[in-house]
Amino acid sequence: MSLTDTHALAEPASCYAPCVAARAATGRETFSLRLPLRHSGARTVRIACEWQGPVDGPVLLVAGGISAHRHVAASPAYPEAGWWDAQVGAGKALDTERFRVVAIDWLGSDGSLDVAIDSADQADAFAAVLDHLGIDRADAFIGCSYGAMVGLQFAARHGARLGRLIAISGADRPHPYSSAWRALQRNIVALGRNESASREALSLARQLAMLSYRTPEEFAERFDAPVALIDGVARCASADYLESCGQKYVARTAPTAFLRLSESIDLHAVDAATITVPSVVVAIDEDRLVPLHTLEALAGKLGARCRLERVSSPFGHDAFLTEPARIAAILTGALCGGAA
């Protein structure tokens, strides 16, 4: 195993030739199956998936945080914005003229699965999607945040079906400080339910979460204004931003979904030594949810070749969304060169 801290970012390279002969395909499906859940026993679950890219292209499994979903990027068939348009699409790092990108809606994301959900269950759902689509093996699993945790589980549980792993801002277990932060968020939502204020509570929980995703440095730069007294109430400069984040989240997320997926992060645990696929681990120096030292430790424990990439960003944990150029360079290098 070799462990390398990489600061210089290479220019994107064209290491995969476009699949000219293959028909570009985009589709969505939802199917049901019986899935043995790690903590909750066998359950009938519905799995929603989406794919785009040439049917004969190398398959990339892509997953984001607990707010992410199967619609990774806009396409001619589904033109609405995706959650990772910066990286997925024609000519981008995850080039859908070369790669076949496959993603899912997280189990429990619609709020209908009110049981304990593990990252291992999500990994098994990805494997079920490969079976459903008739795909034997994925060239890479690219996971960010919770998706990186699921990617680690997929590599541990289904390693024979995976060529390489790219794990961005996700470790083999949650940090105790981060778990405490999420526990407070869940307590807020539970209290809101008891007081018939579920939407308001979920909004507050999301606002608190935003503080963990970002950094004090970013807030100091963006919201460095005196606290104002408005109608007799003190209001800080970031209040409008945080309230907007909360309102947007409430509009698309059921409280049960938030509670169960937040729990799923804290239930996550994987033995990194059992992972035998080449890996690239990406750490954000300023990430307060997944501190650098936890990913340095992960890279040292993985049971196969691994490269550690570091990015410095005032956006902290959210850098995979807000640092498109630097993340694109890492993705391109990882897909072309693998782990070294």
Q: How far apart are CA 92 and CA 76, in angstroms?
A: 16
Catalytic residue among 169, 287, 313, 318: 287
Cβ atoms < 10 Å from Cβ of 236:
14
The residue written with tokens 């026993």 in the block is 41
Catalytic residue among 145, 203, 262, 264: 145
Q: ∠ CA 136-141-145 to the nearest 5 degrees?
A: 150
Q: Is 264 a catalytic residue?
A: no
Q: DSSP characters for 81-145?
A: --TTTTTBSTTSSB-TTT-EEEEEPPTTTTS---S---HHHHHHHHHHHHHHHT---BSEEEEET
Catalytic residue among 71, 158, 268, 317: 317
Q: How far apart are CA 189 and CA 331, in angstroms?
A: 36
Q: Which of 129, 105, 100 is nearest to 117 (CA)?
A: 105
Q: How far apart are CA 103 and CA 101, in angstroms?
A: 7
Residue 245 belongs to what H/E stretch?
helix 239-252
Q: How far apart are CA 316 and CA 53, in angstroms?
A: 31
Q: Which of 3, 94, 2 is nearest to 51 (CA)?
A: 94
For 159, which DSSP code? G
Whether the CB-CB separation of 145 and 168 falls below 8 Å is answered with yes
Q: Is 56 a catalytic residue?
A: no
Structure tokens at 265: 């992060």
Q: Is 145 a catalytic residue?
A: yes
Residues annotated as catalytic are 145, 287, 317
